[in-house]
């Protein structure tokens, strides 16, 4: 079975054996499996000439034609495989992903040669570059195998080409049948032009299901494409918490304009949600929950659940409220179904309700759901009035966000998307550079000292590396324990102090042994080991105590910036190391 790249740029010979040009493109008819209609052959810089497939002979790697006069017009409505498909983005509707076509698989049939698959892996890219064979040989020698990554053509949906005349070969309904999260993943990967082509053909209901799963930048772009009336319809079809998130992303003026088009009840609900900070329980909750009057019976509660099922976020729990809307108990659906219809809910409900307040951090809600194995947790005001619920699926998203933020804080890197990806990286680089310059200045001021103890100079690179590693580890543990109960936090810090002491002792012992071998002096090696022990232990303790010091000084903003904290720990460790060297210099 040939590949498209095996035809491109190949010489073409006439009946007499003379070269008449090279294959510049392959044309195919529009069909479920496009059928090759002919080659475009170019000689030098002249315009390519079309030769029908029926007048082409392919024997091995030799392409020839018996066309007496190459240059007839190609049939109308042809697809250019090179221009329109090769190196183009396509949607793999089976794997729900966006991929790039590196090659096309062709296969002979009774009706001619057709496109039957798209190669989206490394093998196709190597064929395009003409280096597939040597790279495969090298890979085989090293024990690696380069496999073809082929997608059957009936699972591929190519988008409009550069000429704007290539239609979807797979019906749009296939894209619409994808799960909203899968379609959102595809939208996130597409460029603006191709993304718009899908967004414009989606219904309001489909947009309401898909946009909450997409990246915020994609959501904003989609809303910009929609009219205010259609956007209002999409918002009304969304769960309230997701609609509030969307409004919070599109700017104040547009959000106010959309709210003015909505009903008083819906607009009031969304305004209230928008009033809470997005990283709090109030900002994460949805007001769509099943509320049951405290005077109801089990049968009446089940009927309330039945009526509220369409709009409620979950029906696993029903919440019993008093006349003022305060939470007094919670009912499980299982408990209701197992109770007689005439039994009062006050006798069935669980009175000791686990809840969070609207001002609690979203991590608190996540830990509450995880600790008590809940499917949803109620969110209440300080006076006990119930405002909404947070479901477990929202908490999964919260945990993913918090994990990314924690990684960024500890590593000192920006892990988000958008313009901050570049600016955050540049800022982190600048902070590291500034810290390095300060360290260089510090070492420069201590040149006489360092020159007098040249025997210890070899220690500086490993010491700086160990100080950074041990200090950052302690810093990370200290930051992570800040959300624990005070007693548990003290246990963690005590354990980390013991671990730092053990790590410093082992490091100092290793340096003593290696130093003894390199210098031949037991006393000098001992002093080296002591210096490393003191310096690394101090760096670890600084990493453990620095967050508490910053909190006491009300410098909470600095706690969310991992890179400056690392620089502080590293410079502090370097200062201590130089001081230790100075104190021990006269004894070597």
Q: How confident is the model at residue 168 (pLDDT cuts 50, 70, 90)?
A: very low
Higher pLDDT, 516 or 237: 237
Q: How many CB atoms lie within 10 A of CB 417?
A: 11
Within 13 Å of residue 6, how many CA atoms lie on the same side as its CB? 16
For residue 339, pLDDT over 90 is answered with: yes
Q: What is the pLDDT of residues 119-155, one digit of tens each?
A: 888 888 888 888 888 888 888 887 788 888 888 777 7
Nearest to 286 by CA among 252, 245, 235, 258: 245
Cα–Cα distance for residue pair 588/456, rounded to 1 Å? 10
Worst-scoring range by mean pLDDT, 89-103, 129-143, 338-352, 373-387? 89-103
Q: How confident is the model at residue 329 (pLDDT cuts 50, 70, 90)?
A: very high
Cα–Cα distance for residue pair 264/574, rounded to 1 Å? 63
What pLDDT score does 484 carry?
Answer: 58
Helix (H, G, I), strand (E, B) or coil at 373: coil
Cα–Cα distance for residue pair 399/380, rounded to 1 Å? 21
What pLDDT score does 344 carry?
Answer: 95
Q: Are 543 and 504 in contact (CB under 8 A)?
A: no
Average pLDDT over residues 384-398: 86
What pLDDT score does 461 carry?
Answer: 65
pTM of the model: 0.56
């Amino acid at each position: 079975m040939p590949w498209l790249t095996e035809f491109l740029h190949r010489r073409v010979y006439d009946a007499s054996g003379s070269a008449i040009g090279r294959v510049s493109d392959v044309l195919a008819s529009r069909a479920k499996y496009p059928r090759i209609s002919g080659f475009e052959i170019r000689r030098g810089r002249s315009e390519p000439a079309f030769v029908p497939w029926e007048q082409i002979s392919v024997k091995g790697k030799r392409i020839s034609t018996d066309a007496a006069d190459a240059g007839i017009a190609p049939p109308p409505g042809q697809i250019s495989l090179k221009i329109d498909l090769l190196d183009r983005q396509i949607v793999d509707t089976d794997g729900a992903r966006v991929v790039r076509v590196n090659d096309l698989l062709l296969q002979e049939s009774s009706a001619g040669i057709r496109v039957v698959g798209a190669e989206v892996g490394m093998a196709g890219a190597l064929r395009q570059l003409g280096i597939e064979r040597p790279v495969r040989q090298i890979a085989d020698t090293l024990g690696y195998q380069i496999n073809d990554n082929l997608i059957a053509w009936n699972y591929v949906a190519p988008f409009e080409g550069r000429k704007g005349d290539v239609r979807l070969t797979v019906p749009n309904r296939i894209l619409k049948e994808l799960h909203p999260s899968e379609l959102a993943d595809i939208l996130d990967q597409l460029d603006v032009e191709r993304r718009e082509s899908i967004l414009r053909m989606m219904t309001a209901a489909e947009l309401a299901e898909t946009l909450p799963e997409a990246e915020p930048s994609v959501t904003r772009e989609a809303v910009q494409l929609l009219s205010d009336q259609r956007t209002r319809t999409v918002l009304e079809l969304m769960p309230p918490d997701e609609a509030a998130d969307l409004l919070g992303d599109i700017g104040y003026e547009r959000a106010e304009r959309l709210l003015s088009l909505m009903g008083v009840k819906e607009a009031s609900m969304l305004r209230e949600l928008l009033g809470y900070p997005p990283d709090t329980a109030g900002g994460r909750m949805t007001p769509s929950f099943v509320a049951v009057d405290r005077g109801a019976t089990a049968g009446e509660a089940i009927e309330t659940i039945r009526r509220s099922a369409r709009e409620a976020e979950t029906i696993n729990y029903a919440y019993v409220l008093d006349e003022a809307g305060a939470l007094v108990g919670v009912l499980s659906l299982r408990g209701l179904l197992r109770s007689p219809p005439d039994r009062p809910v006050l006798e069935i409900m669980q009175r000791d309700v686990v809840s969070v307040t609207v001002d609690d951090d979203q991590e608190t809600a996540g830990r509450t759901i995880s600790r008590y194995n809940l499917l949803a947790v109620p969110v209440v005001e300080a006076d006990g009035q119930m405002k909404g619920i947070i479901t477990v699926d929202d908490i999964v998203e919260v945990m993913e966000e918090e994990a990314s933020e924690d990684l960024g804080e500890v590593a000192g890197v920006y892990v988000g998307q958008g313009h901050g990806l570049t600016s955050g990286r540049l800022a982190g680089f600048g902070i590291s550079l500034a810290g390095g310059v300060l360290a260089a200045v510090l070492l420069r001021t201590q040149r006489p000292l360092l020159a007098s103890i040249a025997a210890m100079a070899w220690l500086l690179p490993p010491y700086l590396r160990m100080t950074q590693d041990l200090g950052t580890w302690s810093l990370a543990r200290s930051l992570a324990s800040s959300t624990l109960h005070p007693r548990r936090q003290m246990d963690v810090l005590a354990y980390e102090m013991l671990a730092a002491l053990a790590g410093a002792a082992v490091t100092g012992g290793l340096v003593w042994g290696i130093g003894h071998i390199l210098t031949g002096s037991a006393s000098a090696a001992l002093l080296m080991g002591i210096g490393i022990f003191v310096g690394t232990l101090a760096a670890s303790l600084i990493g453990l105590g620095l967050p508490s010091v910053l909190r006491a000084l009300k410098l909470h903003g600095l706690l969310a910036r991992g890179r400056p904290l690392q620089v502080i720990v590293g410079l502090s460790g370097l200062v201590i190391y130089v001081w230790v060297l100075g104190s021990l210099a006269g004894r070597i």
